[in-house]
Amino acid sequence: MTEKEKGHPIISMPIPHWFTSGQDESSFFRSLLDHVSDCLVAVDVNGRIVFINGPYCRLLGGNEEDFIGRHVTAAISPESPLHLVAQGSSVVVAQLLEVRGHRLITRQVPVYQDGRIVGAVGMALFSNLGLLKKAYALASDRSVAVENHNSGWVARFRESDLFGHCPRMEGVTRGIHTAARNALPVLIQGETGTGKELVANAIHTLSERADRPFVWVNCASIPENLIDAELFGYEGGAFTGARTRGKPGKFEIANGGTLFLDEIGDMPMNLQASLLRAINDQQIVRVGGLVPVPVDVRVVCATHRPLARLVKEGQFRQDLFYRLNILRVQLPALREREDLLFLVEQLLARLTRQHGRAARDLSRVEIERLRAHSWPGNVRELEAVLMRFLVSGELELDDASSQMDAAAPDQDGPFVPLHEHLQREKAKHMQRALTSANGDKDGAADLLGVSRSTLYRELKDIGQESQVP
């Protein structure tokens, strides 16, 4: 199937000589394009401008020599997808682009020569008010058709998602708003399960980049030999298995928006220098490529590892640490927070709305159990506990160490089968609960965090039917 049959327009004029040799076409042809009312610009496969007509030069306030050879995202607009179209991405049918205070309706199409793409041409219309109104109606001042790679990279955050009612969390909220007002790198630190990804989402959503891509990468989940290509992209044929046309990396996809690097403490040392260069220079070079690609990306990083200690141990670059550690948000562990009950109330309310079922009230004993728990999994563990509570009506706390202790054999007696040992320990535990509750079954059930019917069933299971009325 030809490109034309797919619905992709083909330009087959003498224009391709600009892309392959850099030579000017006849003065007649150039004069003709200079006298059309619309703006025209052409780029090669690397996104470098090889032609720009007079109307576009006048709009941008410069001469032709000011733009030839520069990357289109630097010369015209960081939002321009023209360089991506020149590399084989989808045709952008209509996009609203702001250039020097003018809202332009732009169209980008690839240029073919001998069946291969040699560049792309962008046309900008600013006199067709009817089309402009139609574009506004269809897209609400957003792109009607956008480049495929950017779809789906959206921050999902509402300010109501950020629960906190204690001094430590008030400090987190202040840090988020400070970071949102700036474009500097941000380092989010905290134990696993404290909500680092939520904070990164919040910083992006509250910033001026909120309507641009929010792209996330987990540095610990990507094989070391692939993370370079994942971040910076690659040219076609750069390595075995690479796509013929290459692929943009996360930096290019996040252009104009935010790149969230989760688990930055697990990034390989040999890649940290490239990351530092990309942040400092705001440009990247694809794997297998030679030409730097300008990007406008705000970097937010997160880690549960102590980066300062990793620097001392030689496992993390000191210069990268200083570059990232300009704005810092430190998340407290759940055991350090004074607002546990407030958090429980808010999470239960949210889970109730999401799942359409209401939870019973927590008993006084259950609340004390929540307070006494160490919460090694932090807020993520609390959410799981409350979800189980919502579904089953029973408060079951994850305590791996207690479960292991309960299953350990008696060191002083003969070794017995595991099932028999667990039955004995269960009987002892339930008997202690009954004793503590002065024989009251409801009280014992509350102490054990189970329903009365479950308590009766367990008593029968361990052979203590006499305790059941």
Calculate the average pLDDT of the chain: 77
Structural domains of the chain in order of their starting residue, each with its CATH number: 16-147 (3.30.450.20), 159-330 (3.40.50.300), 338-397 (1.10.8.60), 402-467 (1.10.10.60)
Q: Which residue has the tokens 């990396």?
A: 249
Q: Which residue has the tokens 């009506």?
A: 393
Summarised one tens digit per residue, pLDDT across range 272-284 is 999 999 999 999 9
How far is Cα 436 from Cα 89, in angstroms, rounded to an integer?
Answer: 70
Summarised one tens digit per residue, pLDDT across range 216-260 is 999 988 888 888 889 998 887 666 666 667 888 999 999 999 999
Q: Which residue has better confidence, 109 or 186?
A: 186
Q: Is 13 exposed, middle or buried (0-12, 13-18, 19+ CB in 10 A)?
A: exposed
pLDDT of amino acid 266: 92
Least confident of 170-174, 318-322, 330-334: 170-174
How far is Cα 16 from Cα 87, in angstroms, rounded to an integer?
Answer: 15
Summarised one tens digit per residue, pLDDT across range 116-170 is 888 888 887 654 444 444 444 443 333 333 343 445 566 665 555 666 778 888 8
Going along 206-338, which residue ranges are E strands? 214-218, 258-262, 283-284, 293-294, 298-303, 327-330
How large is the average pLDDT for residues 21-47?
A: 67
The full DSSP string for 172-220 is HHHHHHHHHT--S-EEEE--TTS-HHHHHHHHHHTSTTTTS-EEEEETT
- Please report which confidence band the pLDDT of residue 405 belongs to, taking 50, 70 and 90 as the band edges: very low
The phi and psi torsions of 254 (rounded to 5 degrees) equal -85, 5
Give the up-direction half-sphere exposure of residue 127: CA atoms within 13 A in the CB hemisphere.
Answer: 7
The full DSSP string for 96-151 is EEEETTEEEEEEEEEEEETTEEEEEEEEEE-S-HHHHHHHHHHHSSS-SS--GGGT
Q: Which residue has the tokens 């600013």?
A: 126
The full DSSP string for 62-104 is S-GGGTTTSBHHHHT-TT--HHHHTTT---EEEEEEEETTEEE
